[in-house]
Chains A and B, each alone.
Chain A
Amino acid sequence: MQTVTPDKFKPATHAGNKERVVRKSLSYWADAWRRLKKNKLATFGLIVLSLLAIFAIIGPFIQPYDYQSQDYAARNIAPGTAHWFGTDDLGRDQWVRVWWGVRISLFIGIISAALDFTIGVLYGGISAYFGGRVDDIMQRIIEILMGLPYMIIVILLMMVMGPGIFTIIVALAAVGWVGMARLVRGQMLSLKEQEYVLAARTLGASSWRIILRHLIPNALGIIIINVTFTVPGAIFAEAFLSFIGLGIKPPMASLGSLVNDGMQVMRNYPYRLLCPSIVFSLIMLSFNLLGDGLRDALDPRLRK
């Protein structure tokens, strides 16, 4: 057995100020970013999305074709060195067409998310801030809009305005902002009652100051999470409309119409279905993974 004698111990010495906190003080956003980076799936989503965005920009320029020129000598060619994703039955290069589709998808996703955000935050914010009768009327309008089936609105708009990107964006924005408005209203209503808002009023802060410094920064996390789920929703809606022939007009390519075309020749030319489908799935998957990661990173209840 080992003997314990006093000379085996020596007093610990504290160099400097032991009260000092070593960990760097992190702002909310720095902390959220740190947690997002730790999340492997979300980082994967972010990287894939960045790659897709880069290819959407440069992809069509890598190959010497454009999305509409036809070449009857090169119809239904399987993927190879000349045509990386092959060609369709009109001899159009699929690689270029797929990236054009991604361009349209991302464009529609981002624009309609931006529209949802703008209209939703304004509408929800006004509704919650003024409250009372204004709130009652604005909420009834929302309820009526929610009761209308969105396919009917879209089809009617297509008939009136003609199919195209602009119509799709208008149709998606017309029905999409409702969810955001409700979310923002709920957030604002609960934040308005927080004691620090009351404290700011006691200090003599103006309404604008309270909205800009207290209400919006605290609601922003949840708004951003909602936006990241709105984007894939809009992309999916566009692809779906194009798939059933209500969306992008040919010869312009959309991932939805490419998948639809590919499906008809699935048995003979499976690559025509596979290429756009895989790219489309990657977009959807990445956005959803990123959205999940952001939700975990921004939700204050999960703060460690």
Chain B
Amino acid sequence: MSDVLLDVRHLKKYFELRGGLLHRVTGHVKAVDDVSFSVRRGETFGIVGESGCGKSTTGRTLLRLLEPTEGQVVFDGVDLAKLGREEMRQKRREIQMVFQDPYASLNPRMTVADILAEPLRAHGITDRAEVDRRVSQILTACGLSAEQARRYPHEFSGGQRQRVGIARALVLNPKLIVADEPVSALDVSIQSQILNLLQDLQGEFGLTYVFISHDLSVVRHISDRVGVMYLGRMVEVGDAETLYNRPLHPYTQSLLAAVPIPDPTQRRQRVLLQGDVPSPANPPKGCAFAQRCPQATDHCHQVRPELQEIEPDRQVACHLYEVS
């Protein structure tokens, strides 16, 4: 059994732009453009980035909710991108997802018991007693009581609904959970409850998480390793603590400089960025960040930097750290 549970290699997801009378392809939105990273068994891998940088698309492409345009998603030694429909459906037992919006991700016409039983039934576990047993077991594990199973989603609060969403993802005993902004829609006080729940469950069931969020402090709190995305590309990957203490990529540096420090006496050095994020339909030729980077050279505008390992367990895609 290898140490790496999920290995993403050169993953690309392009959306076609169609226009004109005949719906011809007029261009591509490069939502995910050559992203590679690996996730080890039992760890939490955080993906951060601003809105529209392709982090959610990456998450959905991992589960083939969106078909990848190119690249490999090797999960436990199997390339998910090459599996047929039914094989992929079977594989879904092992990879689950927690969604962002706890209001939209639960069917309002189903009771919590039905919602949680659905994955079991879809995978052929139909014995009533067995289904009931597993549903109440998972409800208790997620901090809900078994008698709440007969209720409908609208009778729950946002935090409770998110617990149901997590329970649904866990009921099949998956190995990997992709959590797409699982706490962004919740109040700050509830956020910590849900984060703690996720951490407790990780210990209890030996789960591996891919945790997607735009919230830097949430990602720092929960992640073992972090990947920073910008305009569909992974710009820096590293151990959470070292990455936050010593960011290497200029984008990561400016991103972290924007995090408020809860101390009014401390003056922080701010890195103010000029301009906007370029359009992913027409990304720059060289480094995606070159136009806004304070340290950019001509070389940066011309040649796209590859993600390179510059220290053990530290990868960065920037010409400033090029090992010759």
A residues apposed to B, CB below 8 Å: 21, 25-28, 194-196, 198-206, 209, 213-214, 217-218, 300, 303
Interface contact tally, CB-CB below 8 A = 72
**Across the interface, do B109 and A203 meet the contact criterion of CB distance under 8 Å?**
no
**Across the interface, do A199 and B99 meet the contact criterion of CB distance under 8 Å?**
yes
Can you list 14 A-B pairs, Cβ within 8 angstroms, ordered by A? A25-B152, A195-B101, A198-B65, A198-B105, A199-B168, A200-B107, A202-B65, A202-B96, A202-B97, A203-B92, A203-B119, A204-B92, A206-B122, A218-B107
Complex alpha-carbon distance, A259 and B105, angstroms: 54
Complex alpha-carbon distance, A202 and B105, angstroms: 11
B60 to A, closest residue via Cβ: A198
Complex alpha-carbon distance, A209 and B151, angstroms: 22
B171 to A, closest residue via Cβ: A203
**Across the interface, do A206 and B89 meet the contact criterion of CB distance under 8 Å?**
yes
Q: Which residues of B contact A203 (CB under 8 A)?
A: 92, 96, 118-119, 122, 168, 172
**Across the interface, do A303 and B154 meet the contact criterion of CB distance under 8 Å?**
yes
Q: Which residues of A contact B90 (CB under 8 A)?
A: 204
**Across the interface, do B108 and A218 meet the contact criterion of CB distance under 8 Å?**
yes
**Across the interface, do B109 and A28 meet the contact criterion of CB distance under 8 Å?**
yes
Q: Which residues of B contact A204 (CB under 8 A)?
A: 89-90, 92-93, 119, 122-123
B residues apposed to A, CB below 8 Å: 63, 65, 89-90, 92-93, 96-97, 99-101, 104-111, 118-119, 122-123, 150-152, 154-155, 165, 168, 172
Q: How far is the CB of A55 from chain B (nearest CB, A)?
A: 37
Q: Which residues of A contact B109 (CB under 8 A)?
A: 28, 217-218
Complex alpha-carbon distance, A297 and B97, angstroms: 34
**Across the interface, do A195 and B105 meet the contact criterion of CB distance under 8 Å?**
yes
Interface of B is mostly: loop
Q: Which residues of A contact B151 (CB under 8 A)?
A: 25
**Across the interface, do A214 and B107 meet the contact criterion of CB distance under 8 Å?**
yes
Q: How far is the CB of B31 from chain A (nearest CB, A)?
A: 16
Q: How far is the CB of A26 from chain B (nearest CB, A)?
A: 8
Q: Which residues of A contact B89 (CB under 8 A)?
A: 204, 206
Complex alpha-carbon distance, A188 and B165, angstroms: 23
Q: Which residues of B contact A25 (CB under 8 A)?
A: 111, 150-152, 155
A26 to B, closest residue via Cβ: B152
Complex alpha-carbon distance, A21 and B119, angstroms: 28
**Across the interface, do B168 and A28 meet the contact criterion of CB distance under 8 Å?**
no
A213, A214, A218: residue with the most chain B Cβ atoms closer than 10 Å: A213
Q: Which residues of A contact B101 (CB under 8 A)?
A: 195
Which of A21, A27, A198, A202 contacts B92 (CB under 8 A)? Answer: A202
Which of A27, A209, A214, A217 contacts B152 (CB under 8 A)? Answer: A27
**Across the interface, do B118 and A195 meet the contact criterion of CB distance under 8 Å?**
no
Q: Which residues of A contact B63 (CB under 8 A)?
A: 202
